[in-house]
Chains A and B, each alone.
Chain A
Amino acid sequence: MGSRCLPPLLLVLLNCCTSSSTQVVATPAAATPVVTNEDLNFTEATPVVTNEDLNFTEATPVVTNEDLNFTEATPVVTNEDLNFTEATPATLRPSWSPRTPGTPRPPELSGPRPTPVTDVAALCVCDLLPAQCDINCCCDPDCSPGDFSVFSACSIPVVTGDRQFCSQKAAFYSMNLTADPPHRDFKLIDQINPSIFCIHISNYKPALSFANPEVPDENNFDRLMGASGGFTLSAESGVPSTATSDDPQPTKYEYGALLQTAGESSGSFLKLPSPLTSSLCADENPAAFLVNQAFECSRRVAIEECERMEALSMAHYSSPAILRVRIIWKQVSIKIQSIMYRSLNHTLTQLEGRGILRPSLVSTGQDRLCSNVVLQVKYSLLYTASGQIQEAGLSLVLGTLISTVSLLQQKFEIHFIQHGTKPVPLSGNPGYRVGLPLAAGFQPQKGSGIIQTTNRQGQLTILRSTGKQDCLASHGQRAPVLFGYNVQSGCQLRLTGTIPCGLLAQKMQDLLRGQAFPDYVAAFGNSRAQDVQDWVPVHFVTHSSNTKGSCQLPVALGIEVKWTKYGSLLNPQARIVNVTAQLISIPEPLPGPERTMVISTAVTFVDVSAPAEAGFRAPPTINARLPFSFFFPFV
């Protein structure tokens, strides 16, 4: 009690001795430590936290506080009393007991987190200086009526709660400048929100404030560590992903892999020149495994440099050695299989020698010629099923370049043939192509596959016409039936003496039909022999005259092939649907000294495709019908 009586006495002395200026100057120096102590006590007791939380129950005491501020002559004493009542006893006792009148400043206390201020009457956001009066801050509790008299306006005129509520407390501050001396006006009223979407009742208390963070200590550390265990697990899960998996590098060639050659660097490939953006040759195009390609491009050639250009040299295409498999150093040299020579008048001659020929420049009068220039290159690579290259073959076409030509056209091809297989050419894929021979064969017994001859041109044949028109002179030579080509051929047969009619008829039939007339014709160009359903049987009919008893001589064979377009309209495929062969016979003519008979064969292709019809479907209609009592009981 003695220590608390000292500050009021000093303040009372200050108020009484207002007339003496010298004493007023001397007294504040002596009172400063006491004011400092009060500042510390005040800031610890009621810290200011900006928060719009509403707390209706705490409104009344603060109003009383303000009323006391107005009526009391010694506001500092009143504040001290209120601070004593509001502060926690546990907090207050340690701060007061070690304090002595001579101690300048006690150590700061580390207490719990300050409680937020939610009362609008006590909330003052412009109170920035502790224990001092902020200028124009009308809600600052540190200001005295003397300070209010020098204010020109209020920096914060109103402090309200959450505006979303239908009714909230509002503290209004204003300056009454007409009074003498000017003083502050303070009103605490209930403000009404007229909106119909205001919150009438709120049953969710945490919605009005931020969550209070939990301070870790020895009691809750394990629980907090367990709650944030995901961080540790996520950091730990990154370790296995950094481990490198050892996937072996494939050594065999795969589809699309570049063909490597044994060059100076490991990045050398077999080159296949191709046109890039124009028709000029780009020499850096690598060849890929199992990718059959064919290119045709042009090359600028100066006749003087033909001997030095590598692209015209035969050695340029035969010297690389292809690696058998990737990365492993086993080579396959390119063997020259055939060399054709095209002369200036476009005749092709096969050269027998296998040596390397170099381009040579010769002069012939006005013109200069460069011979042994490469015109066509064709690679044939034999590969195994395990992705190795077994052999590499090269076929070349050489030619002669004259000085009047500045652009040389070259062709480049590459094909892949699997080891152990033999390529069989097809007449189409899948439909027939015009100009290719029909595929035909026999079915020896029911249930077995079709047997074909390996001679592609001899499966379905007709009589071949010759210049002399002698049937027996060119016996055995026959022409293949090509898809889409209507063909008619014939010959003459001279009969002398007396030949038996039966023997003559048999001979003539053999001439017309050939050695092996097939039973089946393939429906598609790529029909397989074991798929009998994809083959069309040949209907063989014989027409003879009405005369009975006499011998009939066959003189004409007519083959009619009916085909149709199959599949997509954009890419129709030709499919054979019917094959009919008619053998026409006539009676034996009257015997004479010398007779000549004409026999003929004809092939006709008939398109029996049905025309495509364009049309659109009708849009569907929605037939929705609701019952008459659908909206009962409302309607």
Chain B
Amino acid sequence: MAPRDKRLSSTPLEILFFLNGWYYATYFLLELLIFLYKGLLLPYPTANLVLDVVMLLLYLGIEVIRLFFGTKGNLCQRKMPLGISVALTFPSAMMASYYLLLQTYVLRLEAIMNSILLFFCGSELLLEMLTLATFSSMDRI
């Protein structure tokens, strides 16, 4: 589909995916420890704690799929995997917003970490749209 002599993959997007992968692994482990801390020291109702932990696991699944399809789409210069990654960025941003604003207790550390995740989502969304536009324009030519 794409011309063989031109490389259309976005290096900044790949760098962001790589950093986001490692950052999300660290974020996941820290969130588990923070939930342990809040469950032990704060008056946390059990139903709320279970809900927050289950949503964290869902967030893990969404993030892994999004990063996988984003990397595949970017490196293989395919529009469909990259489109799936773009579509999954919105649920990922919603999850980060939930943990930033709506969970039972939001610590300052959690606010900082979720802000960084939202920054990753925004940057990746922008670069993915640019890369998709590049792929589409080259197909047309």
Residue ID in chain A nearest B109 by CB atoms? A196
CB distance from B60 to the nearest CB of A (A): 12
Is A197 touching B108 in the complex (CB atoms < 8 A)? yes
Is B45 touching A196 in the complex (CB atoms < 8 A)? no
Residue ID in chain B nearest A197 by CB atoms? B107
Is B68 touching A633 in the complex (CB atoms < 8 A)? yes
Chain B, 23-76, CB within 8 A of any chain A CB: 25, 37, 42-45, 48, 64, 67-68, 71
Partner of A203, one of B43, B68, B102: B102
A523 to B110, CA, bound (A): 81
CB distance from B103 to the nearest CB of A (A): 7
A200 to B108, CA, bound (A): 5
Q: Is A426 an interface residue (CB 8 A)?
A: no
Q: Is A202 an interface residue (CB 8 A)?
A: yes
On chain A, the number of residues with a Cβ less than 8 Å from chain B's Cβ atoms is 15
A383 to B103, CA, bound (A): 80
Partner of A197, one of B21, B37, B64, B101: B37
Is A201 touching B43 in the complex (CB atoms < 8 A)? no
A204 to B52, CA, bound (A): 13
Is B105 touching A196 in the complex (CB atoms < 8 A)? no
Is A633 touching B107 in the complex (CB atoms < 8 A)? no
Interface size class of B (residues with CB under 8 A): 20 to 34
CB distance from A228 to the nearest CB of B (A): 22
A166 to B108, CA, bound (A): 7
Is B42 touching A207 in the complex (CB atoms < 8 A)? yes
Residue ID in chain B nearest A194 by CB atoms? B108
Chain A residues within an 8 Å CB radius of B22: 634
Is B37 touching A199 in the complex (CB atoms < 8 A)? no
Is A203 touching B21 in the complex (CB atoms < 8 A)? no
A464 to B110, CA, bound (A): 103
Chain A residues within an 8 Å CB radius of B45: 204
Is B108 touching A203 in the complex (CB atoms < 8 A)? no
Is A196 touching B107 in the complex (CB atoms < 8 A)? yes
Q: Decide: A195 near B104, CB < 8 A? Known: A634-B21, A634-B25.
A: no
Residue ID in chain A nearest B103 by CB atoms? A203
Residue ID in chain B nearest A193 by CB atoms? B108
A204 to B106, CA, bound (A): 11
A195 to B42, CA, bound (A): 16
Residue ID in chain A nearest B111 by CB atoms? A200
Q: Is A189 an interface residue (CB 8 A)?
A: no
Residue ID in chain B nearest A199 by CB atoms? B105
Is B43 touching A207 in the complex (CB atoms < 8 A)? yes
A207 to B103, CA, bound (A): 14
Residue ID in chain A nearest B67 by CB atoms? A633
A204 to B103, CA, bound (A): 9
Is B110 touching A200 in the complex (CB atoms < 8 A)? yes
Is A200 touching B68 in the complex (CB atoms < 8 A)? no
Is B106 touching A199 in the complex (CB atoms < 8 A)? yes
A199 to B68, CA, bound (A): 34
Q: Mark A178-209 against chain B: 1 for CB-CB distance below 8 A, else 0.
A: 00000000000000000111111111100100
Is A204 touching B108 in the complex (CB atoms < 8 A)? no
Chain A residues within an 8 Å CB radius of B104: 202-204
CB distance from B67 to the nearest CB of A (A): 6
Is A197 touching B109 in the complex (CB atoms < 8 A)? yes
A166 to B111, CA, bound (A): 11
Residue ID in chain A nearest B24 by CB atoms? A634
Chain B residues within an 8 Å CB radius of A201: 101, 105-106, 111
A201 to B108, CA, bound (A): 9
Is B106 touching A200 in the complex (CB atoms < 8 A)? yes
Residue ID in chain B nearest A208 by CB atoms? B43
Chain B residues within an 8 Å CB radius of A197: 37, 107-109
Chain A residues within an 8 Å CB radius of B106: 199-203
CB distance from B77 to the nearest CB of A (A): 17
CB distance from A52 to the nearest CB of B (A): 13
A634 to B28, CA, bound (A): 14
Partner of B105, one of A195, A202, A633, A634: A202
Chain A residues within an 8 Å CB radius of B42: 164, 199, 207
- A–B Cβ pairs within 8 angstroms, 20 of them: A166-B108, A195-B108, A197-B107, A197-B109, A198-B107, A201-B105, A201-B106, A201-B111, A202-B104, A202-B105, A203-B103, A203-B104, A204-B43, A204-B104, A207-B42, A207-B43, A633-B64, A633-B67, A633-B71, A634-B21
Interface residues of A (CB under 8 A from B): 164, 166, 195-204, 207, 633-634
Nearest 3 A/B pairs, CB to CB? A201-B106, A196-B109, A207-B43
Assuming A201-B101, A633-B68, what are 9 further A-B pairs, CB within 8 angstroms? A196-B108, A199-B105, A200-B110, A203-B106, A204-B43, A204-B104, A207-B44, A634-B22, A634-B25
